[in-house]
Amino acid sequence: MLCSLLFVQAQSGNLTLGNSAGKKITTGNYNTILGRNTGYNFLSGNSNVFLGQSAGYTNTTGSNNVFLGVDAGFYETGSNKLYINAGRSSNPLIYGEFDNGIVKINGTLAVGTNNYNGSGYGLYVADGIRTEAVQIDAETNWPDYVFARNYQLNSLHEVEAFIQKNSHLPNVPSAKEVNEKGINVVEMDATLLRKIEELTLYTIQQNKQIEALQKRLKQLEQQMQTKK
């Protein structure tokens, strides 16, 4: 019975194994098709690997595909594709395009740990990440609003009172919050920039006050000289 399900073409390098696996194949080279109804409609193409029941079921002439799992790549008709999945979804757990150098993971990826449950994030890396550059697509309200005429800048007395009461700056998370929840890098960058821009406004205010005092001092000196 097993022999009736196994088909090997020594000249072309095609290998099929399973009930109705690659049953329609006519041409093509170096294709490996394993599983019941796997590559069922496949006619021609080269260097494909279809592994799992009904994997690559619809593909007829594609080349360089790798479909791994039950029904993986079931509806894919093209070439140079990677599907790793259990099911017919067009968004498999792992999807790739060999010709474009693309890999997509439709789920949470945890690196270096088995204990991460996702918590709404797509990637978790234990022990940190080392990289040469990071580009972040941010939708945060960038704090140029600090320079708007209607921005309510706290007085330094108000800031001092807040610090004495809370031991951190206004609108900045406390050490306890950071330890418990971590930080959102985009939000924290925006917060830090907001504080830098507020410091700039304080510096401008103080510079104007210093210039006014210097002007007043000069006037007093001139008055003193006149009285002599």
pLDDT tens per residue, range 175-190: 999 999 999 999 999 9
Spatial distance between the Cα atoms of 101 and 88, rounded to a whole number of angstroms: 23
Q: What is the mean pLDDT of the segment spanning 54-59?
A: 98
Q: Which of 23-27, 49-53, 119-123, 200-204 has the lowest mean pLDDT?
A: 119-123
Report the share of the chain in percent with pLDDT over 70. Answer: 94
Is a pLDDT exceeding 70 seen at residue 41? Answer: yes
The torsion angles phi and psi of 34, rounded to 5 degrees, stand at: -130, 125
pLDDT value of position 9:
65
- Tokens found for residue 224: 């003193």
- Considering only CA atoms, give the Rg of the chain: 34
Condensed to tens digits (0 to 9), the pLDDT of residues 211-220 reads: 999 999 999 9
Residue 140: C-alpha distances to residues 49, 137, 173, 190 (Å): 45, 9, 17, 8
Condensed to tens digits (0 to 9), the pLDDT of residues 138-149 reads: 877 899 999 999
Neighbours of 198 (CB within 10 A): 19
Is a pLDDT exceeding 70 seen at residue 6? Answer: no
Confidence of residue 26 (pLDDT cuts 50, 70, 90): confident
Which residues partner with 103 through β-bridges? 96
pLDDT value of position 27:
86
Q: What is the mean pLDDT of the segment spanning 163-168?
A: 97
Is a pLDDT exceeding 50 seen at residue 1? Answer: no
Q: What is the mean pLDDT of the segment spanning 26-45?
A: 94
Confidence of residue 3 (pLDDT cuts 50, 70, 90): very low
pLDDT value of position 228:
67
Is a pLDDT exceeding 50 seen at residue 2? Answer: no
pLDDT value of position 5:
65
Report the share of the chain in percent with pLDDT over 90. Answer: 74
The torsion angles phi and psi of 32, rounded to 5 degrees, stand at: -120, 115
